[in-house]
Amino acid sequence: MSKALRPVLIRGGRVIDPAQSLDQVSDVLLHDGLVAAVGPNLNADEAEVVEAAGQIVCPGFIDLHCHLREPGYEAKETIATGTAAAAAGGFTTVCCMPNTLPVLDTAPVLESLTRTVAAQGVVRVHPIAAITRDQAGRELVEMAELNEAGAVGFSDDGACLTDSGVMRRALEYSLLVGRPIIQHAEDPALSHHGVMHEGPVSARLGLPGWPGMAEEIIVARDIALAKITGAHVHVAHVSSAGSVDLIRRAKAQGTHVTAEVTPHHLTLTDDLVAGHWWSATASLPPYDTRTKVNPPLRPRADVDALIAGLCDGTIDVIATDHAPHTIADKECEYDEAAFGISVFETALGSIMSLVQTEQLPLVRAIEALTSGPAQIFGLDGGSLAVGAAADVTIFDPEREWCVDTSRFRSLGRNTPLDGVFLPGQVTHTFVGGKPVYQSATEVVS
């Protein structure tokens, strides 16, 4: 992949690499697909120079949770468009969920996906396999075979694995392959066709509600099962304050539980469903289906608890849950619309809005996007150590830009942030030393 690559000298940026506790103005040299040197006044005559003064240079972002939709739902997204969108968002490694058609539940399906990624992907892609056949919640998949085929975790995401006996067995088997079980925590008996957070706003709008306790009950149960089995439970897209408390207490007791939070659950609240004016030119009418996501956007108190949990390490990582859908999937009644937000291309902007308002320290934000995810899933990457793969993201922390979904690389235009100004723009993304995104002109193989 990297043989004929020209070396790249990234000059004078603020290099932040939480894996090495590094935060200093420095040069970074990429050579032969690897980080060759990090330090002041580096020289490389034949290198292409990227001037990065005033910009942040950090390890490429790693996303533990996205939906690339291929195979089966190519009208929503493909490997080509999804990975191009990831690169534009600064992501160099993404883990894709198995709710495709067919479901990623056998080794041949995974191997076929891996071939598509090799031919069409521009960033690294690790598949997450289903926990149960066809994500039906009953019969476990062949974890050992799927692990061999490249699965980095197991999840029935989109659906909760509700059967406690099946969950217990899944956790026991996961110990044999050393991979996490990733839970979409939602007790369907409590969320019960809810389409937004259950509370005063849902009551006013007359929409069925999906309460925080539907998440918390499953998180509590899974923590109990993780404790008994000693296995690793990873809680996907945590959305409620109660879940944060449960995870904090479980970690204090030494239970192997980790958690992720999305940029939208960190920044948006349930009252957006009632309509919102972002600015004179950007607004959401009431019942705008672009606000519909699972788990739903929650009230301010939950959002504050998520931010606090991310800051203190209770929540390990930021993951996008990039969930692209077609226009037709969203142009319908709120009750009928698909759940999901297209996130890759706005993730950094949302996160930097928290940094700019001093709700989240910049270094913690970068850790939660780089070394944090690499460490909890045991993935390569997430560091600019000399000799590491040259996966690098450069962004301008100050630059304000306007979200324009008509310019998205993703086929999914479903975001409530269309027309909103966000701070922090990715300017360059390198995978294995190869430029896969540049803010002015894109370079895609």
* Shortest Å, Cβ 386 to ligand DOR: 39
Residue 122's SS3 state is coil
Looking at beta carbons only, is 28 or 293 nearer to ligand DOR? Answer: 293
Using the rule CB under 6 A, is 85 a contact of ligand DOR?
no
The neighbour count for residue 360, using CB atoms within 10 Å, is: 20
Question: By rule CB under 6 A, what count of residues binds ligand DOR?
Answer: 11
Of 294, 320, 370, 393, which lies in the binding site for ligand DOR, with binding defined by CB under 6 A?
A: 294
Residue 58's SS3 state is strand
Of 5, 9, 13, 67, which lies in the binding site for ligand DOR, with binding defined by CB under 6 A?
A: 67
User: Catalytic one among 157, 321, 329, 418?
Assistant: 321
Of 77, 105, 157, 187, which lies in the binding site for ligand DOR, with binding defined by CB under 6 A?
A: 157
* Shortest Å, Cβ 75 to ligand DOR: 13
Residue 7 DSSP one-character state? P
Tell me the C-alpha distance between 8 and 12, whole Å: 13
3-state helix, strand, coil in the chain (%, to 5): 35, 25, 45
Of 185, 293, 365, 436, which lies in the binding site for ligand DOR, with binding defined by CB under 6 A?
A: 293
Looking at beta carbons only, is 67 or 256 nearer to ligand DOR? Answer: 67
* Shortest Å, Cβ 155 to ligand DOR: 10
* Shortest Å, Cβ 412 to ligand DOR: 9
Binding-residue pattern over the window 394 to 433 for ligand DOR, x denoting contact by CB under 6 A: ----------------------------------------
Of 12, 60, 89, 158, which lies in the binding site for ligand DOR, with binding defined by CB under 6 A?
A: 158
**Contacts with 408 (C-beta within 8 Å, 6 or more apart), sequence order:** 85, 342, 345
Residue 126's SS3 state is strand
Where is 427: in which H helix or E strand? strand 421-431
User: In which region does residue 41 sit, left (phi positive, over 0), alpha (psi from -120 to 50) or beta (all else)?
Assistant: left
Using the rule CB under 6 A, is 298 a contact of ligand DOR?
no
**Contacts with 247 (C-beta within 8 Å, 6 or more apart), sequence order:** 219, 223, 235, 238, 257, 259, 309, 314, 315
* Shortest Å, Cβ 339 to ligand DOR: 4
Using the rule CB under 6 A, is 323 a contact of ligand DOR?
yes
* Shortest Å, Cβ 345 to ligand DOR: 17
Of 91, 210, 334, 339, which lies in the binding site for ligand DOR, with binding defined by CB under 6 A?
A: 339
321 is catalytic: yes
Using the rule CB under 6 A, is 437 a contact of ligand DOR?
no
Looking at beta carbons only, is 127 or 381 nearer to ligand DOR? Answer: 127
Where is 366: in which H helix or E strand? helix 362-367
**Contacts with 42 (C-beta within 8 Å, 6 or more apart), sequence order:** 9, 11, 27, 28, 29
Using the rule CB under 6 A, is 184 a contact of ligand DOR?
yes
User: In which region does residue 148 sit, left (phi positive, over 0), alpha (psi from -120 to 50) or beta (all else)?
Assistant: alpha
Instruction: Give DSSP secondary structure letters for 186-240.
Output: --HHHHTT--EESSHHHHHHT--EE-HHHHHHHHHHHHHHHHHH---EEE-S---
Task: Catalogue the active-site residues.
Answer: 321
Task: Give the footprint of ligand DOR on this chain (CB under 6 A).
Answer: 67, 99, 157-158, 184, 293-294, 321, 323, 339-340
